[in-house]
Structure 1
Amino acid sequence: MSDQLSGVLPVIATPFDEEWEIDAAQLEQEIDWLFANGADGIVVAMVSEILRLNTQERMTLNALAVDFAAGRGPVIASVGAESTKTACEISAHARDVGATAVMVTPPLLAVVSAGQLEEYLGAVIDSCDLPVVLQDASGYVGASIDVDLQASLLRRHGAERLLLKPEAEPLGQRASELRTATRDQARIFDGSGGVALMDTFARGIVGTMPGPDLVWAVRALWTALENGDEARALAISNPLTALISMVPGLDGYVAFEKRMLVAQGVFTSARMRGPVTYAIDPQTESFLDAQLALLRRAVG
């Protein structure tokens, strides 16, 4: 089943209505747009604002994602939580509603020991009988997961059950370290949004999980890399990197992608549940619009 998990797998943004509830109609429109613009599958994860959803809402979002994907590609549901019990409950629910795989972060409020992480991850794997993507989200939140520990976990659970999404800097070097530590067995996903994709692709990743807003550009870049078209890859990567490099942290990423989805007619609102630590000002909006136009021209 893990061989389905490859290519361009964007992380969905969660639209909210005027009552701050999940807007199912706009979510369906977003998922249709993602598949129409080159997504191989979809992911529910950090930039889906899962940290601002309660457990029932996370389950609802996962179920809606599976329903709206309608078999067009794999759906990876993020299930990480502060307690093993909650993570396992969300995992089992994801399996029951038809998710293809789950993605798990370690608890974020405390640094857990290697033994505790093994117990937590093992419980999640046992709870869902699906491939599990271990996300080192330390580029945004939480603590970095040691390379040797990830390699040990992969040896114990197998490369078909455990996949890796390293986001500790520097991304390319971390991917290479994981490949070496696992004797090239690890299936690794890029989590840079596109900034490091040319580097990580050359180091043997199997897929990328960008935000949803620029999926058409990441799709074009991924295809150029697969085709060995370095000139086209560079032409797309440069303006894409200029956009993504402005993102200031997790809230900034969510604000940018929702603003871009509104600009492209996918969402009608860029609402984010608060408290929010970053807001886009008019000057930044102008810059984003100009860079979006440049990226469109580069992709053609």
Structure 2
Amino acid sequence: MTGMEGIIPILLTPFNDDLSIDYASLEREVEATLGAGVHGIGIAIGSEIFKLTPKERGEILRAVAKQVDRRVPVIMNTSAPGTAPAVQLAIEAAEAGATRLMIWPPDFFACGAESVIDHLRRIADAVSLPIVLQDVPQAPISPALALRIAEAVPLVDTIKVETQPTVAQVAAMTAAVGEQLTILGGAGGGTIVEEYRRGARGTMPFASQAQDFMQIWNCLNEGKSEQAAEIVENRILPVSRLGFQSADLFYHVHKAILCEANQFDRATVRPPTALPDSVTAKEIEQLVERVAG
């Protein structure tokens, strides 16, 4: 098995007051994430890529890939509802320095297993980069379909599980494709301990908590699951509990953590976004004080 393993944080994108990308803050975030000892870095929905222009997508990937300088893999999400744009995004990502792609199936219309396999095969034919398959609520992948994809598209070597309940889905994936695909957890990493016990071999959390997740990962690999669970309870779940309460609140929460860590200059979330009300803003402030230490 040659898929991705370990802690592969998703970068958050920092923005200036004029909503342009703040590359100075991004550089600090990347260096701090690498300094935590992570096994890869991702640019994906957690990075607000759906709010970036095509030019910005290329620019941010090139900046990250140049800074990482192949110290760890750089994974770029190139999902699209149509095959032609998905192929084009994959080609552009490869040219900009991505070393892996992350893709979920077309989600505009349900198109059936054969079409999903054809979609992924066409991407693999255009760009010879390994692929992390993403199992997401808007485009769920059953264990049976994951097995068919693994057999039909050899470049797919990893699957990130994010359909709920993730723990049960990880167990089902392990039973079905554990010999063919490396299984990663997702959805913020709050159930990393339970997923690990059922066969997951990593997760893709937000970069704002890379150091915490590396501590958890090291504990798991040393057989200290109770210590890992304690870190999750004290450091990860309080953040997830607030961040996933509504809309895109998690962007505001995780960027506030990065500001407290002096990685971001500001916690600006690019529109459209649901701005926190005064009560929620106070809760974010209190949470940041709690997890900053």
| Residue of structure 1 equivalent to 2:228 | 233
| Residue of structure 2 equivalent to 1:269 | 266
| Residue of structure 1 equivalent to 2:27 | 28
Distance of aligned partners of 1:6 and 1:183 in 2 relative to their CA distance in 1, 3 Å threshold: closer
How far apart, CA to CA, are the structure 2 residues paired with 1:193 and 1:38?
Answer: 19
Instruction: Quote how far apart the aligned CAs of 1:295 are.
Output: 4.4
Instruction: Quote how far apart the aligned CAs of 1:48 are.
Output: 0.6
Distance of aligned partners of 1:176 and 1:213 in 2 relative to their CA distance in 1, 3 Å threshold: same
Partner of residue 205 from structure 1, selected from 170, 185, 200: 200
| Residue of structure 1 equivalent to 2:101 | 102
Instruction: Quote how far apart the aligned CAs of 1:211 are.
Output: 0.5
- The answer as to whether partners of 2:150 and 2:157 remain within 8 angstroms in 1 is yes
Please say if 1:154 is aligned against 2:153. Answer: no
How far apart, CA to CA, are the structure 2 residues paired with 1:24 and 1:108?
Answer: 32
What runs of 5+ residues in structure 2 fail to find an aligned partner? none
How far apart, CA to CA, are the structure 2 residues paired with 1:155 and 1:133?
Answer: 14
| Residue of structure 2 equivalent to 1:219 | 214
- The answer as to whether partners of 1:108 and 1:143 remain within 8 angstroms in 2 is yes
Instruction: Quote how far apart the aligned CAs of 1:21 are.
Output: 2.0
| Residue of structure 1 equivalent to 2:41 | 42
- The answer as to whether partners of 2:260 and 2:288 remain within 8 angstroms in 1 is no
Instruction: Quote how far apart the aligned CAs of 1:289 are.
Output: 4.5
Q: Counterpart amino acid of 1:14?
A: T
- The answer as to whether partners of 2:186 and 2:205 remain within 8 angstroms in 1 is yes
How far apart, CA to CA, are the structure 1 residues paired with 2:268 and 2:178?
Answer: 44
Q: Counterpart amino acid of 2:182?
A: R
Instruction: Quote how far apart the aligned CAs of 1:71 are.
Output: 2.2
Please, which moves more after superposition, 61-70 or 241-250? 241-250
- The answer as to whether partners of 2:257 and 2:292 remain within 8 angstroms in 1 is no
- The answer as to whether partners of 1:59 and 1:90 remain within 8 angstroms in 2 is no
Instruction: Quote how far apart the aligned CAs of 1:268 are.
Output: 0.9
How far apart, CA to CA, are the structure 2 residues paired with 1:193 and 1:153?
Answer: 25
Partner of residue 187 from structure 1, selected from 182, 185, 198: 182
Q: TM-score, normalised by structure 1?
A: 0.89
Please, which moves more after superposition, 78-87 or 55-64? 55-64
Partner of residue 145 from structure 1, selected from 128, 132, 141: 141
How far apart, CA to CA, are the structure 2 residues paired with 1:265 and 1:296?
Answer: 11
Deviations 1:33-52 (A, max 9, x none): 11112322200111110111
| Residue of structure 1 equivalent to 2:133 | 134
Question: Number of paired residues?
Answer: 291
Q: TM-score, normalised by structure 2?
A: 0.91
Instruction: Quote how far apart the aligned CAs of 1:249 are.
Output: 5.4
- The answer as to whether partners of 2:193 and 2:225 remain within 8 angstroms in 1 is no
| Residue of structure 1 equivalent to 2:54 | 55
- The answer as to whether partners of 1:155 and 1:182 remain within 8 angstroms in 2 is no
Q: Counterpart amino acid of 2:229?
A: L
- The answer as to whether partners of 2:184 and 2:204 remain within 8 angstroms in 1 is yes
Please say if 1:78 is aligned against 2:77. Answer: yes
Q: Counterpart amino acid of 2:192?
A: L
What runs of 5+ residues in structure 1 fail to find an aligned partner? none
Q: Counterpart amino acid of 1:248?
A: Q
Work out the percentage of aligned pairs sharing the same amino acid. Answer: 26
How far apart, CA to CA, are the structure 2 residues paired with 1:237 and 1:262?
Answer: 21
